[in-house]
Structure 1
Amino acid sequence: MIFRQLYDATSSTYTYLLADEDTREAVYIDTVYEQVQRDRALLDELNLTLKYVLDTHCHADHVTAAWLMKQKTGCKIVSAEAVGADPVDVQVKPGDRIAFGRHHLEVRATPGHTDGCVTYVTEDHKMAFTGDALLIRGCGRSDFQQGNAGTLFHSITEQIFSLPDDCIIYPAHDYAGRTRSTVGEEKAFNPRVGGGASEQDFVGYMKAMRLPHPKKIDIALPANLRSGMPEDGQAPSEPDWADVRVTFSGVPEVEPEWVHQHQPEITILDVREAEELENEYDRLDGAVIVPLSQLRERVGEVPNEKPVVCFCRSGRRSAMAVSILKENGFERVANIHGGLLKWRDSGL
């Protein structure tokens, strides 16, 4: 199985990508609206087809990217029936399975933080994606949004702690840089529900907590009941000057073929060194030449009336040139994917 754990620093949210190595079918768990470009880029770079986007519950601290991912990839939205979100393609109940390739995720109801909380467990019971029901040395709060400490205690002890001790726990959040735990660890060391804690112990602990409401709750809850769809039903605008794709590393890129077809409408910035340009065959007609080593000092020589696309031998140095231009106020700027090497391979 292909597995990636991704992180949104603003909301401290973990997003998980799982995919079948053979069929390349993939699922995302707990996506974040602002991270759609990153998550789409990872799918493209790993050559994966997104089949489902899943949420573990109706989040109060960030807006899900479920609806937007469906618009961009054609995947199906999965949510617990108890959440009542709409639009949703697959409303899951306890015992349901979400299949991707030869793998599947088992749905376990784990309410208590919210009524619609579920935990997704891999078919081999080696990985559990617990949402906010069980965190690393903690758990989700139970003081708002249908929260109930007693219900949460039974969800954790009966649905999660019944998994093998070596089952890896992957939560939806962590605020201290921890990435994973195990069922055995949490049973032993979780200060709220581990170490033989009784329901009375747990409920008493949870009732004594005094936490501020999540900052984005008034925005996130109604948006997540729409699976992240904006109120106007419109996806955010994307660059309209070119077919720009953003890489997983965050670099906007255009393909050599597009550049070849639109050369009169753009400025090409070649950032290679002088000794690399001795052969005229290696040059692009009309390109502005400013070596990367001098670009910061000579950025004023780069015209800004047209979109700028950056170019070098492999596309690596020119990716840095894109960053430098953006730092200096260039908005319509992108890297030429693969540089001269791909330009040649494309027969241009």
Structure 2
Amino acid sequence: MIFRQLFDSVSGTYTYLLASRPGGEALIIDPVLEKVDRYLQLVRELDLRLVKAVDTHLHADHITGLGALRDHTHCITVMGEQTKADVVSMRVADGDRITIEGLSLDALYTPGHTDDSYSYVMGGRVFTGDTLLIRGTGRTDFQNGNPRAQYDSIFNKLLRLPDETLLYPAHDYKGDTVSTIGEEKRFNPRLRVKSIDEYVDLMNSLNLPNPKMMDVAVPANIRIGLHQDDIARKGWSVSAKEAMDMRGRSDVTLVDLREKTERERHGVIPGSLHAPYPALQENLDAGGMLHALAADGGKRIVFYCAFGERSAMAVQAAQDAGLKTARHIEGGFDAWKKAEASVVHRSACSARSGRE
């Protein structure tokens, strides 16, 4: 396995790059905007393909690199379903799994530092964001933080992991790079409390100054780049209502870009094909399923995903591949449901992708 821990000295942020093998798919956790060029250089040097970028929560001390990485690599951006960030491609809930080739991370909803904080467990490692730090815990006094929720997240979720689990936080200001769950149980001063009320009193008495970047970082991280606006200006998007009117037409094929777990959890648009986004290019290339459907005046492809970001990138790729009638549903499956359109909770037809 490839594992790299990268550091931004300005914000004290740790970023993690993961892959199962050289030449394979990669995932990055908590990227910092100013370090994006370095991440991309490392991805090239290790012969990797970045397919997912994850933020553990909405950061207040730096601007995330999610949007820039998406624009450079067309990767899927991932955050928890509670996030207020407006263009996250995939939103996960407690117990969901994030997968790339050869690796998977289990999502743990661990609110308290913020209301959208998640930790991610991978084998003998846990990436805790700002929930549980090395010999500390994340502050709980802004962004809907809650010390009671954090106590529950730490004591009833994270500390129940095996003691030997390696703990990798999103921040450290002392130079420590890794700990274990067992070490934090023994040596973390914030965890030496006898009750939840004692922990709440401790956190409420910290009186810390706001992060220096807070007024800039939070608004920027909520709006990390509306890719869909560019697609709409080009005339390549349709509304959920327009897509409803198209469904069932012999000259139109709706294509679901989401992953299998998203479809199982939320349902699908009846009659749509399944062509997962990571396999998009092979499906668009000559000989691919989507190319065969849409080439030479064939069917009009209408892509959709969870919220419209993957489908916006997909319609751009389809246009680049010469499929000029391709469109996408603006706002994705979320907009479809809000329009009270029909949804089914069963397997739909799947385009060949080699991924299911």
Q: Same fold (TM over 0.5)?
A: yes
TM-score (norm 2): 0.62
Cα distance change on mapping 1:196 and 1:178 into 2, 3 Å: same
Secondary structure class of the residue paired with 1:17: strand
Give the CA deviation at 1:197.
3.7
Map 1:104-183 onto structure 2 (within 5 A). 104-122=104-122, 124=123, 126-183=124-181
- Residue in 1 that maps onto 2:204: 207
Residue 210 (structure 1) shift: 1.2
Indicate the SS of the match to 1:18. Answer: strand
Structure 2 segments unaligned to the other structure (5+ residues): 231-356
The amino acid of 1:38's aligned partner reads R
2-side partners of 1:214 and 1:22: how far apart?
Answer: 38
Q: Distance in 2 between matches of 1:160 and 1:229?
A: 33
Aligned partners of 1:121 and 1:78: how far apart in 2? 15
Is residue 15 of structure 1 aligned with residue 15 of structure 2? Answer: yes
Once residues 230 and 139 of structure 1 are traced to their aligned partners in structure 2, the CA distance between those partners, rounded to angstroms, is 33
Q: How far has the Cα of 1:203 moved from its partner? A: 1.1
Rounded Cα–Cα distance in structure 1 between residues aligned with 2:147 and 2:19: 34
- What does residue 221 of structure 1 align with? 218
Question: Deviation at 1:196?
Answer: 5.8
Asked whether the 8 Å contact 1:22–1:101 carries over to 2, the reply is no
Q: Note if contact 2:12-2:173 (Cα within 8 Å) is conserved in structure 1.
A: yes
- 1:150 and 1:76 mapped to 2: Cα distance? 32
Deviations 1:225-281 (CA, angstroms, capped at 9, x unpaired): 12x3399x99xxxxxxxxxxxxxxxxxxxxxxxxxxxxxxxxxxxxxxxxxxxxxxx
Distance in 2 between residues matched to 1:143 and 1:84, nearest whole Å: 18
| Aligned twin of 1:24 | 24
Distance 2:144 2:218 in 1: 12
- Equivalent residue number for residue 313 of structure 1: none
Question: For the Cα contact (< 8 Å) 2:29–2:55, is it kept in 1?
Answer: yes
Q: Which residue of 1 aligns with 2:329?
A: none
Q: Determine if contact 2:7/2:14 at 8 Å carries over to the other structure.
A: yes
Question: Percent of aligned pairs with the same residue?
Answer: 48
* RMSD of equivalent CA atoms: 1.7
Q: TM-score, normalised by structure 1?
A: 0.64
Could you give the per-residue CA deviations for residues 125-149 of structure 1, whole angstroms, max 9, x where no partner exists?
x000000000000011011110111
The amino acid of 1:144's aligned partner reads: F
Q: Which residue in 2 is equivalent to 1:187?
A: 185
Q: Distance in 2 between matches of 1:22 and 1:148?
A: 41
Deviation at 1:22, TM superposition (A): 6.1
Aligned to 2:79, what secondary structure does the other structure show?
strand
Alignment-derived partner of residue 5 in structure 1: 5
Q: Which residues of 2 match residues 1-348 of structure 1 at below 5 A?
A: 1-21=1-21, 24-122=24-122, 124=123, 126-193=124-191, 195=192, 197-226=194-223, 228-229=224-225
Q: Secondary structure at 2:184's aligned position in 1? A: helix
Counterparts of 1:188 and 1:230, CA distance in 2? 45
Q: CA offsets, 1:182-229, max 9 Å, x none?
A: 000111111012x46421221121111011000111111011112x33
Distance 2:104 2:23 in 1: 13
Report the secondary structure of 1:130's partner residue: strand
The 3 A distance-change label for structure 1 pair 197 and 26 is: farther
Structure 1 Cα separation of the partners of residues 226 and 42 of structure 2? 24
Unaligned runs of 5+ in 1: 235-348
CA distance in 2 between counterparts of 1:51 and 1:145 reads 29
